[in-house]
A = this chain, B = another copy of it.
Amino acid sequence: MSTKRTIRKITGNHLEDFRLGQTFRHKGGKTVTEGLFTAFTEFTMTTNPLSKNARYARAYGYEGLVVPPGLTMLVAFSQTVEDVSENARANLEYIDMRFGAPVYAGDTIEVETKVLGVKPSSSNPKLGVVHVQSMARKSVGERNEAVVMTWQRKVQVWKRDESKRVDEGEIEPDEVPCELWLPSLQPARDYASMAHLSSHDTYFEDFEPGTRIEHWRGRTMTTEHIHLTAILDNTSQVHCNQHMIDLNPKQYVGGKLIIFGGIPFTLCLGLSCPDVHDNSLGDVVYKTGRHTAPLFAGDTVFAATEILGKHELPGRPDLGVLSTRLLGHKFEQAQGAAASDEAPAGYKRTQIFELEREIVVKRRSYYA
């Protein structure tokens, strides 16, 4: 072939490309197969029987195994990466992340995103912050659909051409109706006969505000993160393109492939499950969340949960709402450090993730 022209496409948007109020209807969409369900649900070591035991899930009124909120989040979030954050430096904050209809294997999720704010950095002309609001729907039957999730996020995005004008400003978020679907209490159902399938000490009555729970299990990450990220359609190159890093290691945190934040996000949820949400019927909202340190292959992830508060769920005496803070951490070597409540001798505890999280929890008096 005599090549007449060569094209090097640039994918994703840069700071100057975003327009206030603009809406992206993201490409692709994603059907949650049983393969994806298993890869992620089980990777996180989640223990809530809703996502592990179809007999239990059906008895509670769900159609089958329930996709855990962390996986719904990963699938929906990843749909937005190409348009919003393929050229990002960092994801700054998750805001008002709310869940709606339950998601099952076989459901197809499609997402759209509105630009709420664009703000150039005052200190670095190459950077700025984009604020977006996204909504994920699933198709129900041939013609209907249901909102499964909505959220806002702020992300630090590179500018490509410093000379270009930025559409600076901030507009109000839309009101997106998205409320957690809950199965009704079925008086004839013998819930107690299934009570052995979940933890005996994680009912609503068991939690006391002011408690901090250090979860027992840790999980060492490997280069598996490259595959886990790819199967989500997250195309950000800092997670999978070692050659790009090698060309300019100083530009990238740690000079190596960084693990996609969604991985510790879901893993921390899973590690906390046996102590916190084994008896949950779903996540209402993540008010805010952020990644506070990078994670690399070889690191071992741990989690803790703070119980912040408890409140009633109107109309549902069988359930209650638990306010929590989920904290993820790893241990890094720190020569000479003494042992403490926080870390063993010779190590310091590095927080990697935090999430303000409200969940709906069963009351023992109704279910066990």
A residues in contact (CB < 8 Å) with B: 1-11, 25-31, 33-39, 42-43, 45, 47, 49, 52-56, 65, 105-106, 108, 110, 139, 196-199, 208, 210-220, 222-224, 226-227, 230-233, 235, 237, 240-244, 247, 257, 274-275, 278, 298, 300, 302, 306, 308, 325, 330-331, 341, 344
Contacts and interface: CB of A to CB of B under 8 A. Distances in A.
12 contacts: A3-B210, A6-B211, A6-B213, A27-B199, A29-B55, A29-B56, A33-B35, A39-B39, A42-B231, A54-B108, A219-B226, A220-B242
Given A6-B212, A29-B49, A224-B227, 19 more contacts: A1-B212, A5-B208, A25-B196, A26-B196, A27-B278, A29-B197, A34-B34, A34-B35, A34-B105, A35-B39, A36-B38, A38-B39, A42-B232, A45-B230, A45-B233, A218-B243, A220-B226, A222-B223, A243-B331
A52 B28 contact: yes
A28 B47 contact: yes
A213 B49 contact: no
A240 B220 contact: yes
A222 B229 CA distance: 14
Contacts of A235: 45, 217
Nearest to A298: B242
Given A240-B220, A331-B243, A212 B3 contact: yes
A355 to B, nearest CB: 14
Nearest to A330: B243
A145 to B, nearest CB: 9
Count identical subunits in the complex: 3
Given A1-B306, A53-B31, A7 B210 contact: no
Contacts of A241: 217-220, 300
B65 A52 contact: no
A106 B58 CA distance: 13
Contact of A53 (B29, B34, B300, B308): B29
State the 9 A-B residue pairs at the shortest beta-carbon distance, nearest first: A35-B38, A4-B210, A42-B231, A29-B53, A243-B300, A220-B242, A218-B241, A25-B196, A31-B54
A198 B110 CA distance: 12
A260 to B, nearest CB: 14
B52 A29 contact: yes
Contacts of A31: 52-55, 65
A47 B224 CA distance: 21
Given A25-B196, A39-B35, A300-B241, A223 B224 contact: yes
B8 A216 contact: yes
A36 to B, nearest CB: 5
Nearest to A223: B222
A204 to B, nearest CB: 16
Contacts of A302: 243
Contacts of A227: 43, 222, 224
A55 B210 contact: no
B230 A219 contact: yes
A4 B211 contact: yes
A11 B308 contact: no
A306 B331 CA distance: 48
Given A9-B216, A220-B241, A223-B222, A27 B233 contact: no
Contacts of A306: 1, 3
Contacts of A105: 33-34
Contacts of A52: 28-31, 233
Contacts of A197: 27-29, 110
